[in-house]
A and B are shown apart, each in its own frame.
Chain A
Amino acid sequence: MFLEFVEGPLWYIALTIFVVGVVLRLLDVFRSGVRTDLAPPRREGLGGALRTLVTRSWTAPGFTRGAAFHLVAGYMFHLGLFVLLFFAAPHVLFIEERLLGFGWTPVPYWAFILAANFAFAGLILVWLRRVMHPVMRRISTLDDHLAVILTFIAMFTGCMALFQHHDSLRAIHMLTVEVLMIYFPFSRLMHAFTFAISRSYTGAAMARKGINA
């Protein structure tokens, strides 16, 4: 009953809120518009936008020491989560059956364990820094903590259900994921999409001035 609800109606509600919410949030960003830069550029912005989109994936020259923690823990979490999300065998199956109609090769079990280790270790580390470091403590909002906690719970219940022998465990995982999906468009988690917009805007503006940002 519970399982039927979370796998049926609630899933579709969550999916709709997630998709519509994200699209509305993106539209809201673009709706504000940007004034055209009239200053004669040194070079065109497009190249810079694409460049910065890629180069901000690592640190600026001479900044690796200062960003070492974020770099290591951040990548552990994000790469781990990426593998879990799109390459865990149950997820690939779910995507094939419920979303796209086709799937792809999932990673082997050992790679899944490794990805989960990285994702959990990274997430715990970045969150601990958030509550320990004076800078992150000052600038963090309730939203930041909620996003971390909901993500952690979704991942945790996912691991609990890994054995796949208990429908109750799977139902709990579905529920927590759906909560996360509903929360997503209203939250900090939107950075998963808007980071590309931010990087591109900055990259383009700086390229027009002749700087590789």
Chain B
Amino acid sequence: MNKNAKKRTVMRRVLVLILSLVIILPLIPYAVALVDGPGAVPNPGAQLWNEVRQRDGASAGVSQVQAVDGSVFINPYGERWRQFRMQQLVPIGGWLLVGVTAFIALFRLIRGKVPLEGGRSGKLVPRFSVNQRVVHWFAGTIFVIEAVTGLVLLYGRFVLIPLLGPEGFSATAAASKEIHNLFGPIFPLAVVLMILLFLRGNSPNMVDVKWFAKAGGLLKGMPASSGYYNGGQKSWFWMVVVFGIAISGSGLVLNFPVFGQGREIMEWAHVVHGVVAILFITASLGHIYIGTIGMEGAIEAMTQGYVDANWAKEHHDLWFAEMEKAGMVGVAPNALEEVKRHDDIDFKGFGSPGAKQKEG
């Protein structure tokens, strides 16, 4: 064997060894890790990624950014919220809205417009004062603006993009967002005014239970007794109060993120805002239908301030009896304002807290 051949063999073996080591050595930590379990040998890469994704729960890092959640790199709850919005709120809410609309349409088909059985008597009964009507339509206006712009933001991508195209929807959505946020803070004011002017007469009692038992007298040939407000109106009023406060509170949290509320609070506010909005809008459909095209003689109460005596008799018999006793049937159109102006006339049951007030 010559010297050269030996040398070459050694070289080859060294090379193989080196190559083996190059391949095997990096595996040692893994082998050790495999034997000793995870964590024994720190892996900076894996650790960083785990931190970033916050797989072990929310944690805050250190950052020069001085802001709420400024040191949170990725919010782990965002995904949870996104899934709720896309998989529950949007589809369930959508079906609810469509369903209730369909139900109202069905009711219309079966029952038709609820008529004034006795026709118009021509005699007027004052029902809502100027201030009550102003506040009602004030709340109504803000509600409709908020509902429409809110629905654009929630369902626009499904309903409007096919209609307007992406560019058109972009402008519509931007405009809706600004309008929604600008008119939003007015709604709490409207809710407070609604409570102040409509609270009187809205406490529930036994008459309401019977009223509900008789399906609110909406079915033919099954009239239900009622005072100034019936069970349905009272329910709607308390919905306005509860939903109104919830939607205002959550809306303000979302609209003014300057009081230290972080993303988690905002997400919860968003959940409340979305759920309550869907319920509120759904309920309003019934109110709007029965108050306008659904019942003959109802809308005048909120536009003119008075109703026909037969309407009062048919839908609010107990209140009508009180009004008759008080001599408030068949009076001039502005009678309610008159009563308010003169403290010497007063009677129960006309639902206006201003009734007893006197100019000074």
Interface residues of A (CB under 8 A from B): 62, 65-66, 69, 110, 113-114, 116-117, 120-121, 124-125, 128-129, 132-134, 156, 159-163, 165-166, 168-169
A129 to B174 Cα, complex, angstroms: 32
Interface digits, B167-187 against A, CB 8 Å rule (1 contact, 0 not)?
000110011011101110110
Which residues of chain B (134-175) have a CB below 8 Å from chain A? 134, 137-138, 141-142, 170-171, 174-175
Closest Cβ of chain A to B360, distance in Å, is 6
Residues of A within 8 A of B138 (CB): 121, 124-125, 128
Closest Cβ of chain B to A8, distance in Å, is 21
**In the complex, are the beta carbons of A65 and B360 less than 8 A apart?**
yes
Residues of A within 8 A of B333 (CB): 134
Residues of B within 8 A of A129 (CB): 130, 134
Query: What DSSP secondary structure best describes chain B's contact surface?
Result: helix
Instruction: Tell yes or no: B95 within 8 A of A by CB.
Output: no
**In the complex, are the beta carbons of A113 and B178 less than 8 A apart?**
no
A128 to B208 Cα, complex, angstroms: 32
**CB nearest neighbor in A for B128:** A132
Instruction: Tell yes or no: B133 within 8 A of A by CB.
Output: yes
Residues of B within 8 A of A113 (CB): 181-182, 185, 255
A133 to B134 Cα, complex, angstroms: 9
Extra pairs beyond A66-B359, A114-B185, A166-B170 (16, CB < 8 Å): A65-B359, A113-B255, A116-B182, A117-B182, A117-B183, A120-B182, A121-B189, A124-B141, A124-B142, A132-B133, A134-B334, A159-B179, A160-B178, A163-B177, A163-B178, A169-B175
**In the complex, are the beta carbons of B359 and A163 less than 8 A apart?**
no
**In the complex, are the beta carbons of A133 and B189 less than 8 A apart?**
no
**CB nearest neighbor in B for A114:** B185
Residues of B within 8 A of A165 (CB): 174
A-B contact pairs, 17 of them (CB 8 A): A65-B359, A65-B360, A110-B256, A116-B182, A120-B182, A124-B138, A125-B134, A129-B130, A133-B130, A160-B174, A160-B175, A160-B179, A162-B178, A162-B182, A163-B178, A166-B171, A169-B175
